[in-house]
Amino acid sequence: MARKSTAAPEPAPSATSERTRRAIIDAAMETWSVNQTATLGDICDTAGIGRSTLHRHFADRAALLAAVDQQCQQQFTVAALRAHPDDGPGLEAVLRLCQELLEFGQVLSLIFSDNALIDPDGWDDGSRADQGLTAVIQRGRRDGTIDPELPADWIESVIWMLLFCAWQRSRDGGSRRETAALLSRSLSGAIGTRGPA
């Protein structure tokens, strides 16, 4: 008969500890989205904490980067849910998703910058913002709003490249409203049709 473990369960983190942990992750995202080579000391400066506080929550850069990666996944999932990908014609759903993703400038910076720290291709399927993108594209091809002659993988590449262009324009000081309008217009022209077949 197996003996029951007598070890006490790990105590749940306090609300204060959880707020500090989240503040460190937010500071890391803010810092690394501007400078991918920033040190843990730089992140401490942004968060307004000492190194000992950071190390109580994250043993090293890799542990903090893993937490940032997880936060990026969560934000992408939130964007996908807010876009209501199952509603309306396929092209409209794609445009809504891209508009939601454009709101997460720091996350896009971590993905699109040179020597990017975050790679969505390594995310679990259940966490990826584009998990339903293929289905939305197929729906758009069926309902006549997305060009059925374009291969789905090509359409996905076009979507991510135009999202990159929109992120770059926003980063360089372009107006968010104008950038969002340019993104929608360019996507509609690149993958859309004139109306239902």
Q: Which domains does the chain have, with CATH numbers?
A: 16-59 (1.10.10), 69-191 (1.10.357.10)
- Reported as a single tens digit per residue, the pLDDT across 140-156 is 999 999 999 999 999 99
Q: Would the pLDDT of 114 be above 80? A: no
- Reported as a single tens digit per residue, the pLDDT across 38-83 is 999 999 999 999 999 999 999 999 999 999 999 998 888 888 888 8
Q: Return the residue matching tokens 């990017």.
A: 116
Reported as a pLDDT band with limits 50, 70 and 90, residue 9 is: low
Q: How buried is residue 136: exposed, middle or buried, by Cβ count under 10 Å (0-12/13-18/19+)?
A: buried
pTM, rounded to two decimals? 0.76
User: Tell me, what's the pLDDT at 197?
Assistant: 44
- Joined tokens for residue 154: 């090509």
- Reported as a single tens digit per residue, the pLDDT across 87-101 is 999 999 999 999 988
